[in-house]
Amino acid sequence: MKKRILGVVAPLIVFLFFVQLTFGAKTLDPKAQLKGFPEFVNKVLQDGKVPGLAMTIVKDGKVIFSEGFGYRDVKNKLKVTPQTLFAIGSCSKAFTATSLGILVDEGKVDWDKPVRNYLPTFRMYDLFTTEKMTPRDLVTHRSGLPRHELVWYNSPASRKELFERLQYLEPNKDFRTTFQYQNLMFMTAGYLAGEIAGTTWENLVKTRIFDPLGMTSSNFSVNDSQKAPDFSFPYTEKKDVVVEIPFRNIDAIGPAGSINSNITDMAKWVTLQLAKGKFGDKQIISEAGISQLHTPQMAMQGAILPGMENANEFGYESYGMGWFIDNYRGHLFLQHGGGIDGFTALVCFFPRENIGMVALSNLNGNLAPFVVALNAYERLLGLDQTAWNDRLKAILAKAKEEAKKAEAEKDKDRKLNTTPSHALDDYAGDYENPGYGVFSVKKDGDHLTAAYNGFVSSLSHYHYDIFQFHNDLMDSDLKINFLEDLKGNVGSLSIPMDPAVKEIVFTRMPEKKMMEKSFLEKFVGQYDLQGTVFAIQLKGDKTLVASVPGQPEMELIPYQGTEFNIKGAAGMSIEFIVDASGSVTEAKLKQPGGTLTAKKK
């Protein structure tokens, strides 16, 4: 019986193997599968008002599609080509994670050892996170910090200065408990990688990734893109009209999103992902190393895109290192989008089917790269085509309608017919927060203007001591609440910079002259307070101290005019009185119980 069964099964196996070779394993012609796809892309661009897009598809290690659509320069009617440079935004994050992975391969860094082992000056808001944060944490969005985007967006601060500000940024979740997308942590990861390698993040990525892959057109700054012979201008939609906008330089936050590239170069990047870290005969990153990047590290909540919570095509989403990990209609799917002023990008691949693609576009916040990529995948996988274009158009239309309703109701709590409690001059000054930098207010004729991170806006009075400042990042108005100190002077202001944490408080800075040696020197001397002589001395070039016999020195903190607060003594200050000739005659010691006068000797 056993021999008979084997005798029947063996020919059957041979027959099935022959059938599989002849029919089941046949390779579909990509050209046939993509028939009509260029026309579909043009329709998507037209519906979404997208000026231009470039797309490449890699299958089984070969580029099977590489084409430009629309315009890279609308005004001059210059068409998009496979060589056109676009900002890839947050698609840069995978390059940063890969650069760290290369250093891990070389034993120069460990994913799970504290960042402080490599950067001793690393500081977060709390001691536990400071001591426990690892490189893996930096690239998996689990730091506990919300976005805090206005810390870096358009900021003049350097990368090192932004790194030093991390300690002042308040978290809103416990460390390692919640996925929260965070650009500053990826910036820190790049800064860390550069420091470990003894160079910069830019040079590390260029020498260890760009050069071996032959990504000769890619760069790290929109300043460099504009010097290239073929680059795209950025566009956005304002009041239903697509307009060209200025390039946004984000070099300081570079490791999180400043790379610019074209589909010719990016096809090589996708090939590396599909080939498990190998390109040609070069193993750029070990197979184990790239597997770490492609492996789920942090569970996520919510949909792959807003409004798609009930989309059955997708499964539960997670984040690896620089990649979102999902499944699409039962197929493992890795992707990362990128968006910065005027550009939207998508890099994605199906590792088990050995298919990858890149779509780069030149319209802020559009969904065309997502739509065309999923449609191409469905064609190549032999699946029925999902009406993503129509579905996402409906989602956008609904979002616009909800935005209109929110706009109509935004002033429902406004108190009419109120006035500021101070003269406009009293609000003018520079206000500082150690994490967010300087917010400046000036009186300009009969109104106030404000400047923050290079953005200048008129301050319109809202009610009482609250004014509105236009926020370019969100294209919305931020309410500025001016606050009085105990002396009744405008001493600080608060702004809801990030809705996930409490308002950010900026403290009024003293006039610049109060930090100058020439201004401070005239207060130096001895003062007689009812028979007790104390001295005012200058330490260094910009710090006054008061020395009273038998007591520790007291540092004087510039307040306003010629008045200085006593550090560590709430409500106590010294005001120096200057006569008409400019000479200091006395010092008034102000305290909650009254004021004492000391004559200058």
Residue 267's closest CA among 337, 216, 315?
Answer: 216
pLDDT band at 24 (very low <50, low <70, confident <90, very high): very low
Q: Which residue ranges make up each domain of the chain?
A: 32-398, 424-509, 514-600
What does the pLDDT read at residue 202?
98
Residue 318 pLDDT exceeds 80: yes
Fold agreement between 424-509 and 514-600: yes
Where b means 16+ CB within 10 Å and e means fewer, 316-342 reads ebbbbbbbbbbebbeeebbbbbbbbbb
What does the pLDDT read at residue 343?
98
Least confident of 29-33, 163-167, 194-198, 559-563: 29-33
> 220-243, pLDDT tens digit by residue?
999 999 999 999 999 999 988 999
Report which residue type is found at 499: P
Distance CA(230)–CA(224), nearest Å, equals 11
- Which fold is adopted by the domain 424-509? Lipocalin (2.40.128)
Residue range 340-363: mean pLDDT, rounded: 97
What does the pLDDT read at residue 417?
94
Q: What is the mean pLDDT of the chain?
A: 92
* Residue of higher predicted confidence among 368 and 316: 368
Residue range 292-313: mean pLDDT, rounded: 84
Residue 21 pLDDT exceeds 50: no
CATH number of 32-398: 3.40.710.10
Residue 525 pLDDT exceeds 80: yes
Does 2.40.128 match the CATH number of domain 514-600?
A: yes
Residue 393: how many CB atoms within 10 A of its CB? 16
> 157-181, pLDDT tens digit by residue?
999 999 999 999 999 999 999 999 9
What does the pLDDT read at residue 303?
67
* Residue bearing tokens 């002033």: 411
Listed in sequence order, the residues at least 6 apart from 203 whose beta carbon sits closer than 8 Å to its beta carbon are 194
Residue 559 pLDDT exceeds 70: yes
Q: For the whole model, what pTM was predicted?
A: 0.90
Q: Tell me what percent of the residues of the chain surpass a pLDDT of 90.
A: 83
Residue range 181-204: mean pLDDT, rounded: 98
> 495-513, pLDDT tens digit by residue?
999 999 999 999 999 999 9
* Residue bearing tokens 């917010």: 439
What does the pLDDT read at residue 28?
65
Residue range 81-109: mean pLDDT, rounded: 98
